[in-house]
Copies of this chain bind each other. A is one copy, B any other.
């Protein structure tokens, strides 16, 4: 007998049951009564800490990320935790992996604790198939759901995003203006962020009168060895390219390693553009020009928005942060 059985029998979400247990005043008296009746009927005993907790908040936020050892997400968790702590909130972390089932399980697990809000760090939490996002949309009726670099249009869901489209549009435009014509584009995922990035690349090409060529656009695992091997295969197959744009620095590192091994001059014969301006982009020789996606600003804005939601202030459902291009040694256009 657990909270899931209660949720199912009462025909309400896990979040609602959790809110009733926590005495959250945002549950209607009618719903509250139904949930309590079902608990009675099923003989459900909430755990000792949930029992009798009639008011207030645990001042705890659930943070989900797919993989905290990813440099971008590691930074995000660091900034989120620090910001939340400075407002007196604890962070309960859950590393979910990428499968939808695990993400849902983690989400429901954290909801069944007494978290005041959920923060989903990284663009991997918004699914391409609409109904796969129902659990988020439903939960957001009960508590704020904050997306860091993801976007879902639903009440109670607040997004802070980086303008990936604009960043990729600008970088692609500058590459073309500097004489590059065959720009290889490597991406890791079809997330909200991933789709915006590739759209920026495509539209910039189209606006400059260049064709968008399918054979230049490839998905690749977020891994420098995979990216190096893919680029090598493409080159061996006769594809020619004079620039590589990537949706993540790790892929750009693979491109630099490919060029080093083939003695191709960077940026003259091959320009390389990374994304996220992580420490990886500083490790290579030459250092990789990369888009700074302002992870600290994104996290600060997310927490600021959340605090405003808690205060009952009006807040925008989407906050957009501008990215910066950090030119280092793998590009040489003017920006």
The CA-CA distance from A68 to B94 in the complex, in Å, is: 14
Mask for A60-96, Cβ within 8 A of B = 1, else 0?
A: 1001000111110011011001100100001111110
Residue A239 is within 8 A (CB to CB) of chain B in the complex = no
Task: Specify which of A75, A82, A250, A279 lies most central, judged by the most chain B CB atoms within 10 Å of its CB.
Answer: A279
Q: A250: which B residues are within 8 A, CB to CB?
A: 279
A285 in the interface (beta carbon within 8 A) = yes
Q: Are A56 and B67 in contact, with the CB atoms below 8 A? A: no
- Chain B residues with CB below 8 A from A285, complex form: 256-257, 260-261, 284-285
- What is the bound-complex CA distance between A93 and B76, given in angstroms? 13
Question: Given contacts A81-B95, A93-B81, A94-B81, is CB(A58)–CB(B49) below 8 Å?
Answer: yes
Residues of chain B with a CB closer than 8 A to A279's CB: 71, 224, 250, 280
> Which of B49, B74, B82, B92 touches A49 (beta carbons < 8 Å)?
B49
> Chain B residues with Cβ under 8 A from A56's Cβ?
47-49
Q: Does A55 make an interface contact (CB < 8 A)?
A: yes
- A75 CB contacts on chain B under 8 angstroms: 69
B90 touches A92 (CB 8 A): yes
Digitize A101-136: 1 where CB-to-B-CB distance is under 8 Å, 0 elsewhere. 000000000000110000000000000000000000
Residues of chain B contacted by A71 (CB below 8 angstroms): 69, 71, 74, 279
Q: Bound complex: CA of A247 vs CA of B283, how far in Å? A: 17
Number of copies: 2
Cβ of A241 within 8 Å of any chain B Cβ, yes or no, is no
B residues less than 8 Å from A224 (CB atoms) = 279, 282-283
User: Which residue in B54, B74, B256 is a CB contact (below 8 Å) of A69?
Assistant: B74
Q: Smallest CB-CB separation from A88: which chain B residue?
A: B109
CB distance from A91 to the nearest CB of B (A): 5
Assess whether A253 is interfacial by the CB under 8 Å rule: yes
Asked whether any CB of chain B lies closer than 8 Å to the CB of A25, the reply is: no
From known contacts A81-B95, A95-B78, infer whether A253 and B283 are also in contact, taking CB-CB under 8 Å.
yes
Residues on B with C-beta less than 8 A from A154 are none
Q: How far is the CA of A284 from the CA of B60 in the complex (A)?
A: 41
Chain B residues within an 8 Å CB radius of A282: 224-225
Determine the residue in chain B with the shortest Cβ distance to A56.
B48
5 further A-B pairs in the complex, CB-CB below 8 A; given A69-B75, A77-B93, A92-B92: A48-B55, A49-B58, A60-B92, A68-B78, A68-B81
Interface residues of A (CB under 8 A from B): 47-49, 52-56, 58, 60, 63, 67-71, 74-75, 77-78, 81-82, 85, 90-95, 113-114, 224-225, 250, 253, 256-257, 260-261, 279-280, 282-285
Can you identify 9 A-B contacts, CB atoms within 8 angstroms? Answer: A48-B55, A69-B71, A71-B74, A71-B279, A224-B279, A224-B282, A261-B285, A280-B280, A285-B285
A-B pairs with lowest CB-CB distance, top 8: A74-B74, A283-B283, A260-B285, A48-B56, A69-B78, A68-B78, A69-B75, A69-B74
